[in-house]
Amino acid sequence: MNNTTKIAVIGLGYVGLPLARLFATKYSVLGFDINQERIKSLNSGTDTTLEVDDDVLQEALVNVPYEKGLYCTSDINDLAKCNYYIITVPTPVDKNNRPDLTPLYKSSETVGRVLKKGDIVIYESTVYPGVTEEQCVPVLEKISGLKFNEDFYAGYSPERINPGDKEHTVEKILKITSGSTPEIGKKIDELYKSVITAGTYLAPSIKVAEAAKVIENSQRDINIAFVNELAKIFNLMNIDTQEVLAAASTKWNFLPFKPGLVGGHCIGVDPYYLAQRAQEFGYHPEIILAGRRLNDSMGEYIASQIVKLMIRKGISVNKAELLMLGITFKENCPDVRNTKIVDVIKALMEYGVSVTIFDPLANAQDVKKEYNLVTVNSVPENKFDAIILAVAHDEFLKLNFSEMQKPNSLIYDVKGVLGAKADSRL
């Protein structure tokens, strides 16, 4: 299998690159991405997403395609000799929170141009049930001129990558697999099983695998919405939510969720995919969308809490100088996609607050392009009326907050990690 298996991974982001690097330990792997700057950076041995350590990446790279190892390219012609195509592109939502399948369509067109008889196309992107066979496969057929399940085959193996998590890496996370026929399902399962040390689970169909993935993050979203609602209730009662959760967690089956902002490219997006599909079948999902509405409201809620605390401390809100610590969607990760910190920032700006954003990991160009906001990557020298810990980067926990504070300043802890240093927390 090693000599004949040639894998192309389409999309070298937070999901694709770690997977390509892992497969490259046993197989010939071509990593393909349309972003030429990304390819240039990877070929120089640097991963700007920080998912793969530079020394590990450099060890995996090869200079010639189809040798054992990882060859990164933006040239579609390099993909022609592969027999497995794994698509790991983003699946975002549009401004109306409707699924945007454009990246899937485009990547399917790319693969369709090089698809040959006997090839297998595996999708990893999070989708609603039916997308692989009803949306993507017709594109592959149209572009390639080949017949599905006769000339080529498909599979679905949902990604479970947790960006920034160095403990639960791709090989340590059990992988769901599936195929368009029972035989292809077994073949795909064996491929993943050969590199995933945590093992695999072969689902009975592609639709089951798609549904399993989309409910994983929907379940987390609903649970976080519940504790966010608790936080709102307990704040009205002047009860510390974190203390309540700590007490409740002493019961063996209490679920340890914490309140906070729900952003990123998974939990804050995937429920909309499931909701959209349910509505196409005539069902209006009440709990799923209620959870989304509550979690989407947390940015403005946190901003209002901060403003109330500033007023109580006698801090003039209009033109107050505020330091926002972090803009990425989670700690120790440079990913700013769908970050809900932006909701807090924009709400504070509407109150007239002057916000300085400090994040040592975020790419300032990405933030400017995506949100039209300016970020700094080093500790500002001036002092502030309020400091908000929005993201629990390790670097922030080592800061000397007193050096950045004005005499009557406020420290607000969104993440609940500062303890006595903070005046208040979510």
Which active-site residues does the annotation give?
Answer: 266
What is the end-to-end Cα distance of the chain in Å, rounded? 53
Nearest partner of 380 among 399, 361, 408, 353, judged by Cα: 399
DSSP strand pairing (354-358 vs 375-376) = parallel
d(CA 241, CA 181): 50
DSSP per residue, 34-66 = S-HHHHHHHHTT--TTSSS-HHHHHHHB-SSTT
Nearest partner of 12 among 59, 62, 72, judged by Cα: 72
Nearest partner of 263 among 344, 217, 213, 330, judged by Cα: 330
Residues in contact with 96: Cβ distance below 8 Å, sequence separation at least 6, in sequence order: none
In the sheet that 6-10 helps form, which strands lie side by side, from edge to edge? 69-73, 28-32, 6-10, 84-87, 120-123, 153-156
Residues in contact with 414: Cβ distance below 8 Å, sequence separation at least 6, in sequence order: 260, 261, 302, 344, 388, 389, 390, 425, 426
